Amino acid sequence: MGLIEEDRPEEAVSELRRSLAGDPDFLDGHFEMARCLRRMGQYRNAFPHVDACVANLPEDWEALKEAAEIRFLAGEVEKATPLFETLHEIDPEDEDIASTWVAISLVHEGPKKALKRARSCLEANPNWVGGHLYLGNIQEINGRLVEAEEAYQRALDLMPDHHGARENLERLKAGSPLETSPLGLTYDGIFLSECGRLRNEGYLGRAAELMEYWRERFPEHPLYRRMLVEIYRDQGQFHLALQLLHESDESERSDPQWRFLEARLLLDSGKTDEAVGILEELREEMKFDPAFQECRAEALLASARLEEALQAAEQGLEIEPSHAGIWFLLAKIQKRLERNEDCHQSLEKTILFDPQHVGANFALGIEHLQEGRDRQAVDPLRKVVDREPDRVEGWRHLAIALSRLKEYEAAVEPWSQVMRLAPGDSQASGNLEKIQRLLKQSNK
């Protein structure tokens, strides 16, 4: 499946559909289809494909695992649970499967059923440190503190340097309540990991749907709310992100990271003065965070406080000298201050640390064109259109560079792309006609 290997799941789905239409019993096709659909967050569309695999390959580990995870992510916990149980029976020493099975049981079936599951896992794998830690958590939830202490001690005996086991044992002996369960973190991690993957791969709508669905079930969960806020920000829904952020309780609002996220959203929304106000409040507390200094520099630049913005960017680079984003921001500030030589060097630094940085490559390409360095402009502008093929100005300036170099055959494509993205563009149509005429004359 070349398209899958080439990271083109949408095209792979179309090809697999054709294959399965011709051969409905093609099990490898069903399995790859399920994986592609999951990759795009289309869990329910994957059901018939994982069902076909499980029905025909009831002990196939990969098929069962894919089916269990897809059903669970789609909210079909009752159908996912027996699949995880089967996976545990096939390989009782797989600790990831055991963790997931016990975590799901605790949340959806209650502590008594989860206790039974945990004991079953430990019977099969008695040296599973995490299992003893989970058992201790469940015993605490059930109010059986002596048994909880024994479980934590057993985990510590197996691994004396296990931080979680020692921390829970000391907390329990001190009489402090259980606040954060590792089982809860395991459960949350399933969604947050999947949602983060969808977000990173550009499936923002699907990531939002997944997080919205699970947040309806757990409306007060701070991690789910935080992830959803980040997704809304990625989508440009800043008002919605701020609204959701402001639903947080007082303890969350006192968190510097919460305030920092609010400042970023205000800056994204164009509320620069409000953003600067919050960032100045956090200035001392977060001064060693490069992301904070980057955001502060950006906000100060937007407020035309250029010298302060310059100082913030330089402070960020003292903390993280290879931060391409801050180097690019520094270049923008230097450009506004008319420090052109410094700006050029900062653009070069940006590309040194991130060779594909779109903004820096575009700015460097434009600079080369303005200075008459047409040959040097070509490479950075090609990188721009490779990364952002719908960026009309990237194609336009690449076309200009190639036209000036009289590389007319190479210039045809970028001018054609300008026409595709901006139909009726007079500069593109005029240059394209001229180039085609010149090419015809040279071929006579």
Q: Is residue 28 predicted with pLDDT exceeding 60?
A: yes
- Asked whether residue 83 falls in the same domain as residue 130, the answer is no
Task: Indicate the residue among 90, 124, 154 that finishes a domain.
Answer: 90
Mean pLDDT, to the nearest integer, of 90-102? 93
Each residue's pLDDT tens digit, 148-175: 999 999 999 999 999 989 999 999 999 9
- Rounded CA-CA distance 25/59 in Å is 18
- Asked whether residue 20 falls in the same domain as residue 103, the answer is no
The pTM of the whole model exceeds 0.85: no
Task: Indicate the residue among 75, 90, 105 that finishes a domain.
Answer: 90
Q: 424: domain CATH number?
A: 1.25.40.10
The answer to whether residue 41 is domain-embedded is yes
Task: Indicate the residue among 152, 179, 206 that finishes a domain.
Answer: 179
Each residue's pLDDT tens digit, 294-348: 999 999 999 999 999 999 999 999 999 999 999 999 999 999 999 999 999 999 9
pLDDT band at 180 (very low <50, low <70, confident <90, very high): confident
The SS3 of residue 354 is: coil
The answer to whether residue 116 is domain-embedded is yes
Supply the range of the domain harboring residue 54: 1-90
Rg (the chain; Cα; Å): 28
Mean pLDDT, to the nearest integer, of 357-378? 96
Task: Compute how many other C-beta atoms are within 10 angstroms of the C-beta atom of residue 224.
Answer: 22
Cα–Cα nearest to 225, from 195, 254, 186: 195
Q: Which amino acid is at 22?
A: G
The answer to whether residue 283 is domain-embedded is no
- Asked whether residue 86 falls in the same domain as residue 14, the answer is yes
**What are the distances in angstroms from CA 180 to CA 170, 176, 248?**
14, 12, 18
Residue for token digits 């599973």?
A: 128
Q: Mean pLDDT over all residues of the chain? A: 92
The answer to whether residue 305 is domain-embedded is no
Given this model, what pLDDT does residue 252 score? 78
Q: Phi, psi at residue 28, to the nearest 5°?
A: -60, -35
- Asked whether residue 170 falls in the same domain as residue 111, the answer is yes
- Asked whether residue 378 falls in the same domain as residue 438, the answer is yes
- Rounded CA-CA distance 229/238 in Å is 9
pLDDT band at 3 (very low <50, low <70, confident <90, very high): low
- Number of structural domains, the chain? 3
The answer to whether residue 52 is domain-embedded is yes
Round to the nearest angstrom and report the end-to-end CA distance of the chain. Answer: 45
